[in-house]
C-alpha cells in the first residue's frame, strides 16, 4: 500500500506544478491585455490626426459608392429581368408563327400534290400511250395491258430485192428506199 500512496503523491505534485505553469501563463496574458486596453484608451483620448481623418473620409466615400452601386445594380437587374421576359415573349410569338407556317406549308403541300397529280393525270389522259391513241388502246383482261414492246407503229421495211455484195474497201449500204447512205438502226425496247 505504501507504493500506491507514493504514486498518488507524485501524480498530485505533477498536477500542482502543471497548474502553476497555467497560472503564470494566464497572469502574463492578463498583463498583456491590460497593457493593450490602456494603449487603446490613450489613443481614444488623443486628438484626431490628419491621417485618421483621411481614413475616415475614405471609408465614408467608399460606403457611399457601395450604396450607389448596389442601387444601380438592383436597377439594372430589374431592367434585365424586363428585357428577358420581353425577349421570351417574342421568342414564343416567333415559335408560334413558325409552327403556324409549318402547318400552312403542310396543308399547301397536300393541296399542291393533289393539283400536281390531277394535272399530271390530265396530261396523261390526252397523250397517246405506248404508241397507240387512247381510243384504240386494247386491254385484254386475261393478258393485262398492252406492252410497249408489242405495240410498234413502224417496223423497218424489208428490201424488195437482195442487196448486192459490197466491194472491197467500200462499205456502202442501200436503204430500203433505194437511196445510198448509211442505214440507221433503230433500238426497240424488248
Is 83 contained in some domain?
Answer: yes
Is 141 contained in some domain?
Answer: no
In degrees rounded to 5, what are phi and psi of residue 145? -70, 160
State pTM to two decimals.
0.31
Is 119 contained in some domain?
Answer: yes
Q: Which domain holds residue 24?
A: 12-39+63-125
Q: What is the per-residue pLDDT across 127-158, written as a single tens digit (0 to 9) for each? A: 555 555 555 556 666 666 666 665 556 666 77
Is 26 contained in some domain?
Answer: yes
Is 149 contained in some domain?
Answer: no
- For the chain, the domain total comes to 1
pLDDT computed for residue 18 by the predictor: 96
In the predicted structure, residue 1 carries a pLDDT above the cut 50: no
Beta bridge partners of 140: 144
Is 74 contained in some domain?
Answer: yes
Is 179 contained in some domain?
Answer: no
In the predicted structure, residue 58 carries a pLDDT above the cut 90: yes
Is 69 contained in some domain?
Answer: yes
CB atoms within 10 A of CB 148: 14
Amino acid at each position: 500500500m505504501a507504493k500506491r500512496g507514493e504514486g498518488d503523491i507524485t501524480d498530485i505534485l505533477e498536477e500542482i506544478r502543471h497548474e502553476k505553469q497555467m497560472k503564470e501563463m494566464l497572469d502574463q496574458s492578463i498583463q498583456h491585455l491590460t497593457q493593450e486596453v490602456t494603449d487603446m484608451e490613450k489613443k481614444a483620448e488623443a486628438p484626431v490626426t490628419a491621417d485618421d481623418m483621411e481614413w475616415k473620409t475614405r471609408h465614408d466615400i467608399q460606403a457611399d459608392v457601395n450604396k450607389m452601386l448596389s442601387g444601380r445594380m438592383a436597377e439594372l437587374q430589374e431592367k434585365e429581368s424586363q428585357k428577358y421576359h420581353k425577349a421570351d415573349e417574342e421568342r414564343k410569338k416567333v415559335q408560334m408563327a413558325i409552327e403556324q407556317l409549318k402547318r400552312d406549308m403542310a396543308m399547301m403541300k397536300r393541296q399542291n400534290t393533289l393539283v400536281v397529280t390531277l394535272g399530271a393525270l390530265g396530261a396523261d389522259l390526252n397523250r397517246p400511250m405506248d404508241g397507240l391513241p387512247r381510243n384504240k388502246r386494247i386491254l385484254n383482261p386475261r393478258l393485262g395491258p398492252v406492252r410497249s414492246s408489242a405495240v410498234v407503229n413502224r417496223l423497218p421495211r424489208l428490201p424488195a430485192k437482195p442487196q448486192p455484195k459490197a466491194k472491197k474497201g467500200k462499205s456502202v449500204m442501200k436503204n430500203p428506199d433505194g437511196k445510198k447512205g448509211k442505214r440507221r438502226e433503230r433500238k426497240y425496247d424488248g
